[in-house]
Amino acid sequence: MWTEEAPVRSVVNRVGHQLQKCLSEKGLCLLVNHGISDEKLKTAWDHLDDFVDLPNDVRELYIRTGDDNHGYVRPGVERFDGKTPELRHAFNICTLNATNLPEEPLPGFAEHISSLAQDFKALSRFILQALAVSLDIPQSFFLEKHSHMLSGDHDNESTLRLLYYPPIIEDTDDKNDFVKGSCIYSYQRCLSDQPDFRPESNPRDEINELDGNEENKNTTVRQLPNGEMIRCGAHTDYGTFTLLAQDSEGGLEVKLPGSEKWQRVGHLPGAILINCGEILSIWTKERYPALPHRVVIPEQQHIRSRGRHSIAFFCHPDNLTMISPNDLPNTEAGTDTVDKKPRKKSFKAAKEKVYNAYQLIQKRFRETYGQQNSH
Ligand SMILES: O=C(O)CCC(=O)C(=O)O
Ligand SMILES: [Fe+2]
């Protein structure tokens, strides 16, 4: 579809026009024919499973220290709402030349994951150009602001994150904390090749999450008031956009722009989802709104007793890029055509005082990692 340096102009234009429609209306897009094979994604998940199976003291050697975002994050360390632990293992890769990868206990890990990170970087560079086209601004506009992705020079926070959510095994003794269980990629359950945005009623829609729910202020149990549990709390991503590949276990839910309902995003085999982050939302004055999303645990016992995998690539601007809603050249997105909509906090803050990408992202890391982050 493209080469990293010179994507075919007509393809950039076509994708740009599609992005314009779906990102402004839905805040997300599903990408197909993106060039990253399903096999390559599954092999990465196999490597992550092998990592999670390593003894605790070996895993500890690769732990994220907070000096940068690189490394292993144990279940329970991240807290999107500031208090409720996320039930997942994460491995962050922030550079193509990472030295602290578990190559010794897991031969092949480093090479495979670095190559996958390179693929996601190339895809992101393509999307950055298509995004510019979609906003009718020079094709290189965003590319120039993301020139240090994965360079390892601490000038850019872009990150490839491998994720594993352990099975939920009901256990009356409450000892089931973060069980690593067997996991199968159950592609046979994907009956449709269409994305599954379900508008029908969902029992969870009526339920507020722990965030803002007075009754649950002090609890740390990842449970909705109706007893349903969630794997990853509701949040918007911090950067420009996120590329997300998920296995067929399901659970990802989004709030589309203008809606308060959580809607499921079904698994489209091979597709990668793009969702807008807070920085793109600031740049475009919310024409491309940051997409609230979360991962819930499937209701059916036999599905929740399996693990779930995903891979996210968080595309961030270079750290010193100032992020202002007035940056975009004077186009429809660069004028205040949508000023009557209620504004998000991040947008208002950016309008009042301009921060650089590093300051905005570190503030969000502090909120997510709390005391455990050394920044
Ligand atoms: O695992 C997923 O599908 C979503 C992960 C996510 O939203 C995140 O890590 O920011
Ligand atoms: Fe996210």
pLDDT of 227 reads 56
Mutating to test ligand 1, I would choose from 268, 276, 310, 316 the residue with most ligand atoms within 8 A of its C-beta, which is 310
Burial of 202 (0-12, 13-18, 19+ CB in 10 A): middle
Closest by Cα among 20, 16, 22 to 256: 22
- The bound ligand whose nearest atom lies closest to the alpha carbon of 160 is 1
The amino acid at 123: L
pLDDT of 5 reads 60
Q: Around Cβ 329, how many Cβ atoms within 10 Å?
A: 12
Q: Alpha-carbon distance 329 to 321, whole Å? A: 16
Mutating to test ligand 1, I would choose from 295, 296, 313, 364 the residue with most ligand atoms within 8 A of its C-beta, which is 295
Q: Alpha-carbon distance 304 to 149, whole Å? A: 35
Q: Which atom of ligand 1 is nearest to the CA of 314?
A: 10
pLDDT of 80 reads 77
Pocket of ligand 1 (CB under 6 A): 161, 163, 232, 237, 244, 246, 252, 293, 295, 310, 312
Q: Around Cβ 65, how many Cβ atoms within 10 Å?
A: 11
pTM higher than 0.90 for the full model? Answer: no
pLDDT of 343 reads 60
Q: Could you tell me the mean pLDDT of each successive run of 10 residues in the chain, 375 residues long?
A: 68 96 95 95 96 94 85 82 78 90 95 96 97 96 97 92 84 45 32 32 34 33 56 91 93 94 89 96 95 87 84 97 87 49 59 83 80 39
pLDDT of 88 reads 86
CB atoms within 5 A of ion ligand 2 belong to 237
Q: Alpha-carbon distance 189 to 167, whole Å? A: 17
pLDDT of 342 reads 59
